[in-house]
Amino acid sequence: MGEQSRIFLSPPHMGTEEQELVAHAFASNWIAPLGEHVDAFEHEVARYVGTKGALAVSSGTAAIHLGLRLAGVGPGDLVFCSSLTFVASANPILYLGATPVFIDSDEATWNMSEAALARALREANELGQLPKAVVIVHLYGQSADMGPLIALCEQYKVAVVEDAAESLGADYKGRMSGSLGHFGIFSFNGNKIITTSGGGMLVSDDLEALERARFWAMQARERERHYEHVQMGYNYRLSNLLAAVGRGQLRVLEERVAARRRIYQRYAAALQPYAGITFMPESPTGRATRWLTALTVDPEQAGITATQLIDALEKANIEARPVWKPMHRQPLFAGCRYYPHELGYSVSDELYARGVCLPSGSSLGDEQQERVISVIRSCLSGRAKEVGHVHL
């Protein structure tokens, strides 16, 4: 039997119009105003998510960096940040010379815990050390429960930066994920729900702030013929070619959301019956995209650990991954403060110990998905709560 082709976690999935748009970008290189596709991509993303403006940049990380600088974060400041996330949420805090304080998740959304944030803000206020901003991450395509989180931040007058790198297309009570805070960011990295191979977007209703970020993103070059610089800037603008790809991708975003949700439903229908397997819950506050299908494995009931399951999938040439290792567990952030969901109970640690992300790319075929499911079933065999008909 030959080696079966590799199944990836979340590979890029191009639509039909990207090549044509890129060809247009090539053809118009010398005649169109610079960045015609960049401007259009910004408008289209802003319209889709419902913000007044958007700024296209070279990565989601760059967008977080700019958003935090706009929030006034500087050396010596504190910034609160979700602990259960990719390191890109927190690195820009260090770029600005500030200190992160990590906030746990809740079980219902896997995103920032209201209880932990409330405790952290109350203590910070008592110490006279309120943070300049809170970075709220929306994991795996699901919005955090923004209502109470924003209310807390408003109470203490702290800026909210939404890291919606994984949640483009998700909504929260009828508003798009990433559009509720002062600043929101998206990523178009190769593994995200739509991609430009690399890129990001900063969105906001504060157009004046976006213009300042635009200036910083172009080396903070003053409006002079010669090269005049008063402030420190960055080279963070998105290329026009990549913006053309992004416009094509945006046109198929809704299809991509539907495909990822179908993939989740298929996994859930096949695996929900097994004891010890629990899928990331979908919050009743809005549509999740299921960017990645994530689940937890209870080793006592399932008879296998999350790590063993990932190893078994790897043996079958299938890429699966643990849930993000929390930032408060990272050597990089040793010594940073951390607020668990409840005193003595850390949700993100539980999710990291037991969590698995399954291949969820929108181009995943039915047969490929069956391959994933059958490997998992073989690991769980004999452990079904009930084999047979299942109601979801």
Ligand X SMILES: *Cc1c(COP(=O)(O)O)cnc(C)c1O
- Rounded Cα distance between 110 and 82, Å, is 10
88 touches ligand X by CB under 6 A: yes
257: contact with ligand X by CB under 6 A: no
Binding-site member from 10, 51, 61, 249 for ligand X (CB under 6 A): 61
Given the complex with ligand X, which of 88 and 304 has the nearer CB atom? 88
The DSSP 8-state label assigned to residue 274 in this structure reads: B
- Lay out the site mask for ligand X across 138-167 (x = CB under 6 A, - = otherwise): -------------------------x-xx-
Q: Which of 41, 48, 80, 86 binds ligand X (CB under 6 A)?
A: 86
Please check whether residue 143 is in contact with residue 177, taking contact to mean a CB–CB distance below 8 angstroms. Answer: yes
Q: Given candidates 124, 137, 259, 268, which one binds ligand X under the rule CB under 6 A? A: 137
Is residue 59 close enough to count as binding ligand X by CB under 6 A? yes
User: Does 187 sit near ligand X (CB under 6 A)?
Assistant: yes
Catalytic residue among 52, 132, 192, 385: 192
Name which of 153 and 292 has its Cβ closer to ligand X: 292
Question: Three-state SS for 112?
Answer: strand
3-class SS of residue 64: helix
- Residue 51 DSSP label: -
For residues 188-217, which are near ligand X according to CB under 6 A? 189, 200
67 near ligand X (CB under 6 A): no
CB of 4 to ligand X, least distance (A): 28
CA distance 50 to 372: 37
* Shortest separation between residue 336's beta carbon and ligand X, angstroms: 18
Is 52 a residue of the active site?
no
Two tokens at 263? 């993939």
Among 60, 100, 246, 340, binds ligand X (CB under 6 A): 60
With CB under 6 A, what is the number of residues at the site for ligand X? 14
End-to-end Cα distance, the chain: 36
Smallest distance, Å, CB 116 to ligand X?
A: 18
Question: Are the C-beta atoms of residues 55 and 213 closer than 8 Å to each other?
Answer: yes
Query: How far from the centroid of its chain's Cα atoms is residue 139's Cα?
Result: 5
CB of 91 to ligand X, least distance (A): 9
Bridge-based pairing state of the strands 78-82 and 99-103: parallel
Stretch of 59-67, 121-129, 251-259, 278-286 lying at the interface with ligand X (CB under 6 A): 59-67
Residues 44, 247 contacting (CB under 8 angstroms): yes
CA distance 195 to 249: 7
Residue 26 burial (C-beta neighbours within 10 Å; 0-12, 13-18, 19+) = exposed
Nearer to ligand X, 16 or 235 (CB): 235
Alpha-carbon distance 285 to 94, whole Å?
Answer: 32
Six-digit token pair at 163?
Answer: 């890291």
Contact positions vs ligand X (CB under 6 A): 59-61, 85-86, 88-89, 137, 163, 165-166, 187, 189, 200
Catalytic residues: 192
